[in-house]
Structure 1
Amino acid sequence: MPATDRIALFIDGANLYSAARALNVDLDFRKLSDHFGRQGRLIRAYYYTAIVEGEEFSPVRPLVDWLDYNGFTVMTKPVRRFTDAQGNTRTKGNM
């Protein structure tokens, strides 16, 4: 890919997090961004994730804040809570 090609990066946060956890690896989003910046002209970097609203602490909030501060466009959606047929409360955060 020529270095003049324009690149947009779209990250599905929940799936990337699950894959990284399953592989027991830590993600370095600065290195990821730098890598694609070397492949061409990185014009946009989006990170999509669902967040739990109304909780005092969300484990994803520090990452979302860091990404936003470091040039990523963060697209969030509130998690929905529902009760399944067995009466268990579940959360769903499809993007």
Structure 2
Amino acid sequence: MITLGVVVAVGAWLSGPGRWAGRVREMWESVIAAVREGTGVTSTGSVGRWVHRCRRALRWGAVLVAAVVLVLWSYPTGWVVFWIAVVAVRRWAS
């Protein structure tokens, strides 16, 4: 449960208006931009426009799926919570 508390606290901090949280988000966006540039992806087409339009619902969907997985996991350890959070954050930021 401690790990879950830490994950929720970090998630809340990163989604807040703080200066350092904003810098972390900017860094993450620059990493994604660099990966796109390195792979030659310049446009995501109609799918990218749809994802951009529905991003809030998709993000909450990722959180909901992660929460359901966590609730249904028989014996969630700290590592299970950590990796579910990592996967959810990766999906959230995509």
For the superposition of Structure 1 and Structure 2, which TM-score range results when normalised by the shorter chain?
A: under 0.3
Taking CA–CA contacts closer than 8 Å with sequence separation of 6 or more, which of the two structures ends up with the larger relative contact order? 2
Q: Give the TM-score normalised by structure 1.
A: 0.27
- Indicate the structure (1 or 2) with the bigger Cα radius of gyration: 1
Greater share of residues in strand: 1
